[in-house]
Amino acid sequence: MPMLENELARRQTNGNGLELRPQPVRVQWVWDDLITADSNDLKCTFTCSVRALSDAPERRMLEEVLLGPRTALRAEHVVTHFSPTLRAAAADQARTKGVAAWLEPGAKDQLVAALKKAAGQVAFSCGLEVLPPFQLEVESRSYAQEQSRQMQRRLAEQQAAGQVEHFTRAAELLKKFQEIRQ
């Protein structure tokens, strides 16, 4: 039976050895409860590829550490195994900057580097290789809500200023009208 799309390795049906997927599999982690230096929330979605290494020592590590009693190693097993380490690395990095800094173009490179390093360390210990492309998406609900409130405040201020200006013009016109009448 051919390997499923999300499988990295599978025990052979005769029980002798492992069948490894030669192509990498994409995996994704989502953390929506990270906190930035200015106490805003930060949601991060990190995606990369992983591949099982074919050397005999790596195969044994893969079998011992990740496969265990399972018949197949799937992408979700990798995600679960890597999650605590990657989440800790993401949380540590998130606390180093305010949310606005994280949302700027190019600011994610520091976080991607930390996640690549952490993923590489975990992968080394379990017979996997972490591969590009590395993708990181960041967003913040609290920051978006604050930006929305500020925009609404500015619009309300502009509207109030417009009303004051309109009232001032109307008062001037009324004054001129009364002068003309007299």
- What CA–CA distance (Å, rounded) separates 42 from 3? 36
Is 115 or 5 the better-scoring residue by pLDDT? 115
Q: What residues contact residue 68 under an 8 Å CB cut-off, 6+ apart?
A: none
Q: Say what the pLDDT of residue 148 is.
A: 60
- What CA–CA distance (Å, rounded) separates 166 from 45? 49
Q: Say what the pLDDT of residue 153 is.
A: 67
Q: Say what the pLDDT of residue 27 is.
A: 97
Say which amino acid occupies 175: K
Structure confidence by residue, pLDDT tens digits, 130-143: 999 999 999 997 66
Q: Say what the pLDDT of residue 13 is.
A: 74
Q: Say what the pLDDT of residue 43 is.
A: 93
Q: Say what the pLDDT of residue 83 is.
A: 97
What would the two tokens of residue 53 be?
A: 């290494």
pLDDT at 66 exceeding the cut of 70? yes
Structure confidence by residue, pLDDT tens digits, 94-112: 999 998 889 888 888 999 9
Structure confidence by residue, pLDDT tens digits, 146-170: 766 666 666 657 776 677 777 778 7
Going from the C-alpha of 12 to that of each of 77, 104, 141, the distances in angstroms are 18, 48, 47
Structure confidence by residue, pLDDT tens digits, 16-49: 778 999 999 999 999 998 999 999 999 999 999 9
The one-character DSSP state at 20 is E
Q: Say what the pLDDT of residue 106 is.
A: 84
CA distance between the termini of the chain: 102
- What average pLDDT does range 117-134 have in this prediction? 95
Q: Say what the pLDDT of residue 130 is.
A: 96
